[in-house]
Amino acid sequence: MKAFLILADGTVFKGVSIGSQREVISEIVFNTSMTGYLEILTDPSYAGEAVVMTYPIIGNYGICFDDMEDDRPWPDGFIVRELATAPSNFRNECGLSEFLKDHDIPGIQGIDTRALTKILRSQGTMNGMITTNENFDLDEILPKIRAFKAEDVVKKVTCAEKEHFSDGKYKVALMDFGAKRNIARELAKRGCEVTIYPAYTSAEEIMAAHPDGIMLSNGPGDPKDCMPIVAEVKKMFDADIPMFGICLGHQLLALANGADTRKMKWGHRGANHPVKDLATGRVYISTQNHGYVVSSKSVPDGVAEVSFRNANDATMEGLHYLGRNVFTVQFHPEACGGPQDTGFLFDKFIHMMEVAKDA
C-alpha cells in the first residue's frame, strides 16, 4: 500500500506503508545508528517523535524480545529507506514490520532518507504526517501538522507504581522519567538494590526509604514541561545524597539549580557521538538521544562545572556539582547494544555511594 510522509514545510515523500496503517502526526527526527533499531524503538525517550533511520537497510536481524529497553515501542512512527523482509539471525523471533503492526505503529519505507535527513539538518527537526490517504489536501492538513506538540510524554512513559528490580549492597532509587532497562541492569550487576519510582514521586517518599544513591533517568520531551518534577529533584539534591543523572535527568537537575535549557536545531541521536572528558582530555564515543541541551553559560558560578563537551559542536555533555557527590551526563553510559566506552561512570557512582556510606 502507498504511504506518504508530509513535512510541515509542504515537502511530500512517497513510499510504501509498513506496520500499522494508522495516520499519525509527530515530530520527525533522525538517528544515525547502523544497528540497535529495536533498542531505539523501545527507548521511551522517543515518545512523541517519529524516527528516521539514516542507515539504508533496517530489520535485517529481526526482533529479539530480550533486547527490548521497555515493554513496548514508543515512537509515533518509523521511517526507513529499505525494510529487510527476510531477517537472518538465530535469535530472531519476528519481523520488524510485524512488530510495528502488533504495536499499532505506522511506518513508511522506500523514501529517500538521505534527502529527508538533509532537510532536517538544514531546516531543523520539524513536524510531519505519515498517512496512507492518497487524497490528502495539503491546505487542510499543513496547519494541523504545524500545530502539533508532544505533551505529557514523561507522564505517558513512566511506570505506574514503585517496582523493586534487584537486591544488593547499595540501595539506589531510580527515578523513572522514561528509564531504559539497561540503567537498572548496569546498577544491579554492580551490586545495587534498585527500586524504580514513578516520575512524580515526592522527594519525601524517596528520602524516607533512605537510599544510598539516587539515579535520575533519561526520558522524552522538553525538560521545562517537567517543572513539578524539577521542584522534587531540587529537594533530593539539597538532601546531599549521592546522585547520578542521565539525559533528561541531567537537564532536570540543571534546571533545579538555576541553569537553563534550550531546544537544539536537530539534536543528537545516534551511537557515534564523540564526547571529551575535560578533566583528562580523553574522547569517548557515546550513544545519544536528545533534542534539548543545557546552556553552558547559564550554569551559575560556584554551583557546577562542565565535565564533558561534545567534540563535534562543543555543546555541554556533563556537569560535576561542586562540593557534592553529584554528577550528570547528557549521553547514555548504559548504551545497549553500545558503545560501552563510558560505562565506567556507573563505577564512579558506586564509589561515591561507598565513600558516603562509610563516612
On whether 21 is known to bind a ligand per the annotation, the reply is no
Q: What is the pLDDT of residue 358?
A: 79
* In the chain, domain spans: 2-150, 154-358
The reported pTM is: 0.96
Catalytic residue among 69, 247, 268, 336: 247
Catalytic residue among 268, 273, 290, 332: 332
Q: Average pLDDT of 299-327?
A: 97
Residue 140 is a catalytic residue: no
User: pLDDT-based confidence at 206, cuts 50/70/90?
Assistant: very high
Q: Average pLDDT of 212-223?
A: 98
Cα–Cα distance for residue pair 14/132, rounded to 1 Å? 10
Residue 332 is a catalytic residue: yes
pLDDT in tens, 23-67: 999 999 999 999 999 999 999 999 999 999 999 999 999 999 999
- Residue 186 confidence (pLDDT) above 90: yes
**Is 230:196 a contact under the CB 8 Å cutoff?**
no
On whether 289 is known to bind a ligand per the annotation, the reply is yes
User: pLDDT-based confidence at 210, cuts 50/70/90?
Assistant: very high
Catalytic residue among 49, 186, 232, 334: 334
* One-letter-per-residue 3-state SS of the chain: CEEEEEECCCCEEEEEEEEECCCEEEEEEEECCCCCHHHHHCCHHHCCEEEEECCCEECCCCECHHHCCCCCCCCCEEEECEECCCCCCCCCCECHHHHHHHCCCEEEECCCHHHHHHHHHHHCCEEEEEECCCCCCHHHHHHHHHHCCCCCHHHHHCCCCCEECCCCCEEEEEEECCCCHHHHHHHHCCCEEEEEEECCCCHHHHHHCCCCEEEECCCCCCHHHHHHHHHHHHHHHHCCCCEEEECHHHHHHHHHCCCCEEEEEEEEEEEEEEEEECCCCCEEEEEEEEEEEECHHHCCCCCEEEEEEECCCCCEEEEEECCCCEEEECCECCCCCCCCCCCHHHHHHHHHHHHHHHC
On whether 219 is known to bind a ligand per the annotation, the reply is yes
Write down the CATH number for the domain with range 154-358.
3.40.50.880
Assign residue 155 a region: left if phi > 0, alpha if psi is -120 to 50, beta otherwise? Answer: alpha
On whether 291 is known to bind a ligand per the annotation, the reply is yes
On whether 318 is known to bind a ligand per the annotation, the reply is no
Q: What is the pLDDT of residue 357?
A: 83
* CATH architecture of the domain formed by 2-150: 3-Layer(bba) Sandwich (3.50)
Residue 210 is a catalytic residue: no
On whether 17 is known to bind a ligand per the annotation, the reply is no
Q: What is the pLDDT of residue 337?
A: 76
% residues pLDDT > 90 (the chain)? 98
